[in-house]
């Protein structure tokens, strides 16, 4: 297959620097179509073309617990609900998603005899600019 993307490098940074940690990220774009149905259009649902409401990017992170200052800062921000400027960059393609995000849903997994990992979600607040991959 040609043109596939191997999930090898995703860089998540805030206004100070990169959040250090080995792990995984899942980026989800949410947006709801706008229903403009009415009886004069018949019984079928009609959606507004090229418009979405309640748009939001969510970045689900799971990374190995560490003592890096940026990693600890995003943990602290999740406790307080502090919003900040974050950018998600796909290293292989240059695709970027910068915006204001709030870290939430902090969860630590502490398995017996294995690495400790942290999971959290960055939820966008306000307008997010998405720059598609470069050819």
49 DSSP β-pair partners: none
Residue 111: phi and psi, rounded to 5, are -70, 150
The b/e string for 75-106 (b: 16+ C-beta within 10 A; e otherwise) is bebbeeeebbebbbbbeeeebbbbbebbbeee
Q: What was the pLDDT predicted at 1?
A: 44
Assess if residue 78 is contained within a domain: yes
Assess if residue 116 is contained within a domain: yes
Assess if residue 81 is contained within a domain: yes
Assess if residue 66 is contained within a domain: yes
Model confidence over 46-79: pLDDT tens digits?
999 999 999 999 999 998 999 888 889 999 999 9
Assess if residue 134 is contained within a domain: no
Other Cβ atoms within 10 Å of 12 Cβ, number: 23
Which residue in this structure is represented by tokens 């690495």? 115
Burial bucket for residue 3 (CB in 10 Å: 0-12, 13-18, 19+): exposed
Give the range of the structural domain holding residue 61, as residue numbers without chain letter.
10-124
Confidence check: pLDDT of 26 > 70: yes
Structural domains counted in the chain: 1
**pTM of full prediction above 0.85:** no
Q: Residue 95's domain is classified under what CATH number?
A: 2.40.30
Model confidence over 83-113: pLDDT tens digits?
999 999 887 788 899 999 999 999 999 999 9
Lowest-confidence segment of 31-35, 91-95, 121-125 by average pLDDT: 91-95
Q: What was the pLDDT predicted at 120?
A: 93
Assess if residue 89 is contained within a domain: yes
Assess if residue 3 is contained within a domain: no
Q: 31-36 contacts: CB < 8 A, separation 24 or more? A: 31/55, 31/56
């Amino acid at each position: 297959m040609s043109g596939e993307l191997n999930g090898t490098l995703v860089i998540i940074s805030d206004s100070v620097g990169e959040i250090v940690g080995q792990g995984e990220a899942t980026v989800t774009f949410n947006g709801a179509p706008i229903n403009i149905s009415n009886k004069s259009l018949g019984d079928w649902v009609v959606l507004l073309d090229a418009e979405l409401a309640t748009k939001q990017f969510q970045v689900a992170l799971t990374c190995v617990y560490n003592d890096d200052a940026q990693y600890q800062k995003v943990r602290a921000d999740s406790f307080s609900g502090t919003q900040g400027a974050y950018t998600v960059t796909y290293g292989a393609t240059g695709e970027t998603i910068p915006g204001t995000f709030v870290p939430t849903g902090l969860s630590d997994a502490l398995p017996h005899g294995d690495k400790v990992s942290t999971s959290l979600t960055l939820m966008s607040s306000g307008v997010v600019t998405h720059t598609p991959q470069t050819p």
